[in-house]
Every structure is written in structure tokens, then in C-alpha cells.
Structure 1
Amino acid sequence: MHEHFVDAELPGEPGWRSWDAVDRTRFNALLGSIAYRVEGEGPARRARVRMHPERRHSNLRESVHGGAILAFIDVALFAGARAFGLLEAGTAVTLGLDTQFIGGGTIGEPLDAEVELLRETGRLLFLRGLVVQGETKVAAFSGTVRKPTLR
């Protein structure tokens, strides 16, 4: 456990870990429980980050609200970096996030972000990926994260 997040194996879900905010009054808790796992090896390695959209994540069309998807993508950048062993929870920040919406997300079905590390420098992580529900592509994204400053 880190002081801000609980990172633990998910019982009955081999390979999956939970990554949940300790302080349920923080923004991350709005998304509900987040889970992640690493898939593949070498250059094909990806982190799969999962949320479970509920009614509170819906828009008036009964689809997943675009703002909820954007928030999920932002959190997925950090959970993915965590899955790769590159970040602890803390003071890293998103410097840029580019998103293209491709389709709608369905409430009640797991929403996954497939996160790929493109490059790591001394201070930055460059990531990209897709948000999917099963075979349906919901959004594509790329983001840059600045690692925490060591003090």
C-alpha cells in the first residue's frame, strides 16, 4: 500500500491488481474501482487498465459520458505506468493528453484502456493506447506524463 492508493492482487482474478484511492473524497474515486494487469512481453507489452462504468458515468444517451472517458484515460496513463514499474502514486503530472473519440461506451460493461509505453526519458513518459469494450473501439489516445521531482 502507498499512502494515497491501495495496490493489491484482485482475489479470483489471476494477474489483475486493484489500484484504488485511499481517500474516497479525491477525484480518482469518482471512477470507482480501477484494476490493471500487464499483457505480453518485450515490445508487445501492454498494460490493460479497467473500470466498470455505472449510471453515474452516463450521459443523457445512456452511454458512458465523454468526460468520464477522458478522466479514465488520464488515470489509465498513471495506472499503466504503475503496471510497468515506472511510477509510484504521487506527484507525477499529465503534461499532454490527445484523445479521439471513435464510438460510444456502454454502461454496465467493463471499459478497458490498453496502454503502451512509447518512450521513457529521465523526466518524461510517452504513452498511447486505445479504450475498448470487448471488440468495440471507444477512443484512441496519446499522453505525456512528467515523473515526480525527487526532493
Structure 2
Amino acid sequence: MTDLPTGFLHEPDPDNPGWMRWGFRDPTRFNSALGKMIVRVEDDGRVRMRAFPDRSHSNLADNVHGGALLGFIDVALFATSRSKGIIEAGTAVTLDLSTQFIGAAGIGRSLDFVSEVLRTTRRLVFIRGLVEQGDTVVASYSGTIRKPSGT
């Protein structure tokens, strides 16, 4: 999309029709450590961000490291807000993030971060969601982001 800064990636994914690629074009930014992510708005209005964790995201038990899950969840908050047209890419920030780890997530299998916007105000966006791997819920989360100035 041309309305986003040139360093931000939010465009149709040719390998996954109906999905948008999500991230930064600059491989030296943090999101690049998380790997490929794609996002779409579901028919029910929730936003699904899909990530593809690999060995670099693993802990010693060969599951997805909790810190990696937290990184993905944080990105999902912004993917949700942008996909719903609430914010543009830029200087929005995470104010809080609460996560409940319910089970282990395996590496080498995609993870879905399914989020819904609970409320927006002039400056804040309140979001909650679930992390799913196949039919298994591995975490729940809720978070608040502050919109950039001027939105």
C-alpha cells in the first residue's frame, strides 16, 4: 500500500491469496527477527496474524520460547490496529500487554494470533486475543496501544 512509510511492509502476499504481508522492509529492525508474518481480517471482524516460528524462536525444550511469543503478540496488536484502519504505521506504542501462557507451541508449525478490538478512544486501542496452533490454544492476551499523535 502506498499510504505507508516506505520502510513498512503491508501488501498482498502472492503466496497466500487474501493475506497481507506484515513487517518492516529493513532487515536490521526487530520485527525481522520474528520472520515472515501475514495478516487478514476475518469475516467476523477479528484479525488473524499468522507467524511461522522456526528453531531461532525455540527454547531448550524445542518449543517456541515465551519471549518470542510475547514479541509475536506485540506485533499482533499493531497488525490488528492497522488492519482495522485504526492506525497507520508509525510511532504508536504498547502501553501494556498481559499474557496467559496456556500450553506449549511447537516450532515448525504456524501460529495464529486472533485478535479483536474491544474499544478505541481518541488516543488508545484496547485489544484481546488468543494464540492458536491448529486446534490448540497456547496463550491468551490483552493489550493497550497508544495511537501516534495526530491520529
Shared fold per TM-score greater than 0.5: yes
The match for 1:31 among 34, 43, 61 is 34
User: What is the identity percentage for the equivalent residue pairs of Structure 1 and Structure 2?
Assistant: 55
Number of the residue aligned with 2:53: 53
- Aligned-residue RMSD, C-alpha: 1.2
Deviates more, 1:61-70 or 1:83-92: 83-92
CA distance in 2, matches of 1:114, 1:26: 24
CA distance in 2, matches of 1:69, 1:16: 21
CA distance in 2, matches of 1:28, 1:10: 17
SS in structure 1 opposite 2:91? coil
Counting matched residue pairs gives: 148
Query: Match of 1:141, as an amino acid?
Result: Y
1:4–1:90 contact (8 Å) kept in structure 2: no
Quote how far apart the aligned CAs of 1:15 are: 1.3
CA distance in 1, matches of 2:115, 2:60: 29
Query: Match of 2:38, as an amino acid?
Result: A
CA distance in 2, matches of 1:114, 1:20: 17
1:4–1:89 contact (8 Å) kept in structure 2: no
1:15–1:37 contact (8 Å) kept in structure 2: yes
Q: Deviations over 1:46-98 (max 9, x none)?
A: 00001100100000000000000000000000011111111111100000100
SS in structure 2 opposite 1:142? strand
SS in structure 2 opposite 1:74? helix
Q: TM-score, normalised by structure 2?
A: 0.94
CA distance in 1, matches of 2:148, 2:23: 19
> Aligned runs of 1:112-123 on 2, under 5 Å?
112-123=112-123
Query: Match of 2:74, as an amino acid?
Result: D
Number of the residue aligned with 1:4: 7
Query: Match of 1:18, as an amino acid?
Result: R
SS in structure 1 opposite 2:71? helix
Query: Match of 1:107, as an amino acid?
Result: I
1:96 aligned to 2:96? yes
CA distance in 2, matches of 1:29, 1:75: 11
Number of the residue aligned with 2:65: 65
Quote how far apart the aligned CAs of 1:150 are: 2.2
CA distance in 1, matches of 2:117, 2:61: 33
Query: Match of 1:63, as an amino acid?
Result: N
Quote how far apart the aligned CAs of 1:11 are: 1.1
- Structure 1 runs (4+) deviating above 6 angstroms are none
Number of the residue aligned with 1:143: 143
Number of the residue aligned with 1:107: 107
